[in-house]
Chains A and B, each alone.
Chain A
C-alpha cells in the first residue's frame, strides 16, 4: 500500500485541468497529484472524463485550460512526442496494437523515439522474459494474437519507451476473468519495479484494492479522493460503484 516509503516526490500534477471536445467540456477543472512510485487509480462511470484526462496528460488532446506539471516542469502544451520523450507512456484503451506488424515490430515501435539500439534489444528481451507467450510468438503478426496476448503486447510496447510514468486506460476492458487477474498482477509487478502508474479503470473494486491513492471522477469533476481503503469503505462509493 505504499506505506513505509520515504519522501514521495510529486511526479505529476494537474491544476484545474479543463478539456473540451468542441464546446462540450468533458473535464471541468480537476486537480490531482501522482507521487513517484505510486499506483494511482482514476475511477468513475462511463463518460466521467477519465480517458480524456489521460489523453491530455499524454499530449494527445491539448487541454483548454489549466496546467500539467511533470517532475515540476510545466508541460501543458507538450505534444505526444514531447511527453513520451519526457518519460510518459500511454497504453490506450482497447489493447491497441499494429495488427499487421509482428510482435517484435510492435515492440520496436514502442521504442520509436529511442536511438540506443543495443539497449532496445535488451529491453525487448526483458519484455519477452516477462511475457513468455509473446516470446513464443515474436515473429507472428499481432492481429492474429488472442485478446489477452494483445493486451500483454500493448503493455510490453508501452514499457519499451522506458517510461517513468505509465498511463493505463481500462486495462481490463473486454478480457476474460483469468486474463484480467493476470493483467492486474503484471501492472503491480511494473509498479514494484519502480515505474509510477496512473490507471483508469471501470472495475472499481480491483482498482481500489491495488492502488495507493484514488480519485473518483463524476461527470468531469472530482467527487472524492483518498487512499484505496478509504474509498472502498466510503458509503457513496459502495452504493454507486461497488454494487452495495
Chain B
C-alpha cells in the first residue's frame, strides 16, 4: 500500500516535465529537489540519531565550493608554495564534493560526539560560521564576496558515449530527481539495517543502547559522515545548477530551512523530509503570485506555527496514523519513559 503510493508519486515526478513546460516552475522544482536532498541528509542525523546539526549548511556549502573549484581550477599561494589546479570534469567535482564533505562530517563527529547534545549543536553552528569566514576571506581561492562565477553546468560522462552536458531545465530536473531517489533508497536501506536499528536505539535510550553493546560514538560518527556526504552531493548539484556561489551559501537561514523541512514533514520518517521539502520549497514561491511579499512571509510563519502546534510529530506521521491506524503510533507514555537524566550517583 505504502509502496504503491511511493511508486505512483515517483511516476508523477517522472512524467511531470512532459506536461509542465513552464521553465520558472521547473526551476522552483529543481531547487526544491536540491534542498530536499539536503533535508533528507539532515533527517538522518536529526531524525534517526536525535542529534541536531545546526550547521548542516556547512556540508552543503563545502560540497558546492569543492565541486565548483574542482571544475573551475584555481591557483593559490600558501607561504612559499603555489598550488595550481587545472579544471577537471564535473563528475570528478561531484565525487570530490561528496568525499570531502563526508570527511568534514567525520572530523566534526569525532570532535563533538564525545560530549553530544548542546555541545554538538554549538560545534556545528561554529563550524558553519568558520567555513563561511574562510570562504569570505580567502579571496585567492574563493574570490570572497565576488563569488565564483561561470561554474560549468553538470556534465555526465559515460565511458564510450563521451560527455553529455546538461543544458536547460528538464535534464537538470531529471538529474536532481535521480540523485534524490538514490539518496532516498540509500537512507531507506541504512535505517532498515542493523546500523539503523542501532541509531534508533541510541536515540530512544542512550544508556540502554550502551548496555546492549552498541558502540554509540561509532554509529553517531558514521551517521555524521553519511549525512555530510549527502549534503555535499546536494551542494554540488546546486553549484552546477545556479552556476554562481558566494559565501552567503553558508548563512544560518539555510540550515533553519532544512530543519523546518525535516521537523514539519516528520523527523525520523523516510517520507518526512520529502513532504516537508516539497511544501516549504514551493510554498513561498507559489504564494508570491497571490499575496504581496509581506503577507507571504506572514502566512508562511503562521503555517509553521500551525504545524508545530497541531502536528508536533510532523505531517507524515499524522497522515500515516489516519491512513494506516494499525501502524505503530508513538505511545503517549513513550515521552515519559525516555529519561533525559544520566546516571545519578548512588
Contacts and interface: CB of A to CB of B under 8 A. Distances in A.
Interface in A86-129: 90, 92, 94, 96-102, 105, 108-110, 112-113
B330 to A, nearest CB: 6
Interface stretch (B148-156, B174-182, B338-346): B338-346
A26 B346 CA distance: 6
Nearest to A90: B211
A221 interface: no
Interface residues of A, number: 40
A92 B207 contact: yes
B22 interface: no
Q: Which of B194, B204, B209, B212 has the most A CB atoms < 10 Å from its CB?
A: B212
Contacts of A79: 215
B214 A112 contact: yes
Given A47-B346, A141-B331, A99 B338 contact: yes
A81 B209 CA distance: 10
Interface stretch (B102-110, B112-120, B195-203, B227-235): B195-203
A52 B331 contact: no
A242 to B, nearest CB: 21
B7 interface: no
Contact of B334 (A49, A94, A100, A105): A100
Interface in A39-79: 46-52, 55, 58, 60-61, 79
Nearest to B339: A94
B80 interface: no
Contacts of B201: 98, 101, 109
A157 interface: yes
Nearest to A50: B346
B213 interface: yes
B345 A55 contact: no
Q: Which of A47, A100, A113 has the most B CB atoms < 10 Å from its CB?
A: A100
Interface string B322-346: 0000001111011001110001011
A137 to B, nearest CB: 12
Interface residues of B, number: 28
Given A49-B346, A52-B345, A143-B331, A113 B213 contact: yes
Given A52-B345, A92-B207, A96-B205, A110 B212 contact: yes
A99 B213 contact: no
A21 B331 contact: no
Nearest to B330: A100
B346 A99 contact: no
A98 B208 contact: yes
A144 B213 contact: no
Contacts of B210: 60, 80
Contacts, number: 97
A202 B207 CA distance: 22
A85 interface: yes
Contacts of B330: 99-100, 141, 143
A55 B334 CA distance: 24
A24 interface: yes
B260 to A, nearest CB: 23
B322 to A, nearest CB: 18
B208 A112 contact: no
A51 B343 CA distance: 9
Nearest to B198: A112
A166 interface: no
Contact of A84 (B200, B213, B343): B213
A195 interface: no
Given A52-B346, A98-B204, A100-B204, A157 B334 contact: no
Interface string A175-204: 000000000000000000000000000000
Interface string A159-186: 0010000000000000000000000000
B333 A80 contact: no
A101 B214 CA distance: 16
Contacts of B333: 99, 143-144
B343 A61 contact: yes
Contacts of B209: 109
A113 B210 CA distance: 11
A118 B194 CA distance: 16
Nearest to B194: A112
Interface of A: 21, 24, 26, 46-52, 55, 58, 60-61, 79-81, 84-85, 90, 92, 94, 96-102, 105, 108-110, 112-113, 141, 143-144, 157, 161
Given A48-B346, A97-B208, A112-B213, 17 more contacts: A24-B345, A50-B346, A51-B346, A58-B211, A60-B207, A80-B213, A84-B211, A98-B208, A99-B205, A99-B334, A101-B201, A105-B197, A109-B201, A109-B212, A143-B331, A143-B334, A144-B333
> When A and B form their complex, which 3 residue pairs have the shortest distance between CB atoms, in order from nearest?
A143-B334, A99-B334, A51-B346
30 contacts: A21-B345, A26-B346, A46-B346, A49-B346, A60-B343, A79-B215, A81-B214, A85-B213, A90-B211, A92-B207, A92-B211, A94-B339, A97-B337, A98-B205, A98-B208, A99-B330, A99-B331, A100-B334, A101-B204, A102-B328, A109-B197, A109-B201, A110-B212, A112-B212, A141-B328, A141-B329, A141-B331, A143-B334, A157-B212, A161-B213
